[in-house]
Amino acid sequence: MTVEAKQLSGILPPVPTPFNEQGEIAADKLIKNIKELVRTDLTGFIVLGSNGEYVYLDEDEKLKLCEAAREAIPGDRLLVAGTGTESTRATLRLTKAAAQVGADVAIIITPAYYKPAMTVEALIKHFLTIAEASPIPVVLYNMPAYTGVDLATDTILSLAEHPNIIGLKESSGNVVKIAEIVQGVKERDLNFSVLAGSASFLLASLAVGASGGIVASANVAARDCLELYQTQTRPAEALIIQQRLLPLNAAVTSRFGVAGLKYAMEKTGLYGGPVRPPLLPLAAKGQTEIDYILATIFPAK
């Protein structure tokens, strides 16, 4: 599928990587989860993202997951693969390999280990080198809470000039920054989409021009996230949904992380399974809190 920025809209869940009890990838569970989620109007699916525990995966595991996801995702929905690594060379190699097994788009996080050396010049060269050689479009992934590197607005807009860089997942939570990027894209008439990186600020991001969101909560409450997106022009209705999603989103992201997300998926009929060490399983207290939140959102369950 040839992908343009205009297709990067709506809601896309960053799907967790399912492991079996022996700690190995359970590709069949990924397929089953996606086939259930694809019954909704989700635009596509992110594999190998932060919620996919991508930093703990071997390269062959990453490609196996891409292949499994492609099997489950219809041709009219996007498969977006997280191919960012610490080196430009390795990122480009993985991006090309992901494209060969069916990825439509690569989402690439900022390299961060040599943080002081990740200057504007270094980051621009990194992303432009990849964009020039990538067979599929590239989406920037800004996640300063994890990487400690925050792509500046001017840097993002400079990169957005490249025709093969078609979007941004902005996870900083800085809605003013999102508004500035959207405005800059409009002023320059660029083919570039901005997506909120969390359901916690999804409505605020949509209000300032974001085209959608890549949000963990959509793994558990896809219909609610989609309803929020679809009612954005009716602020009173959308605000009610946004407020309802806030406790869930916090539980499956900042509070309990991937373990919390996987537990919530189990409780809503999908496969969650264990996390990969050194991550720890969700403690009993966290389970109780998530049970309460889910009972509030889905009272019939």
Lowest mean pLDDT among 65-79, 161-175, 261-275, 286-300: 286-300
Q: Is the per-residue pLDDT at 1 higher than 80?
A: no
In this prediction, residue 300 carries a pLDDT of: 62
Residue 142 β-bridge partners: 170
Of the pLDDT bands very low, low, confident and very high (cuts 50, 70, 90), residue 298 is confident
Separation of alpha carbons 65 and 54, rounded Å: 10
What would the mean pLDDT of 140-144 be, rounded to a whole number?
A: 98
Q: Please name every residue paired with 25 in a beta bridge, in sequence order, or none if there are none.
A: 19
Res 291 pLDDT > 70? yes
Mean pLDDT of 174-202: 98
Percent of the chain with pLDDT over 90: 96
For residues 28-53, average pLDDT = 98
The single-letter DSSP state of residue 139 is E
Residue 51 CB-half CA count within 13 A: 30
For residue 70, the SS3 value is helix
Of 203, 202, 209, 204, which Cα lies nearest the Cα of 184?
209
Which of 238, 248, 149, 234 has its CA nearest to residue 202? 238
In the prediction, which pLDDT does 2 show? 75
pLDDT at 213: 98
Active-site annotation, residues: 169
Q: Are 43 and 12 in contact (CB under 8 A)?
A: yes
List the strands of the sheet with 138-142, edge to edge: 10-12, 212-214, 193-196, 165-170, 138-142, 105-109, 78-82, 44-47
Return the number of other C-beta atoms located less than 10 Å from residue 68's C-beta: 22
Average pLDDT of every residue of the chain: 97
Question: What is the per-residue pLDDT across 69-97, written as a single tens digit (0 to 9) for each?
Answer: 999 999 999 999 999 999 999 999 999 99
Beta carbons of 264 and 256 less than 8 angstroms apart: no
> What global pTM score does this model have?
0.96
Asked if residue 62 has pLDDT above 70, the reply is yes
Sequence-separated (6 or more) residues with CB below 8 Å from residue 89 = none
Q: What is the C-alpha separation between 77 and 44, in angstroms, rounded?
A: 5
Res 301: pLDDT = 46
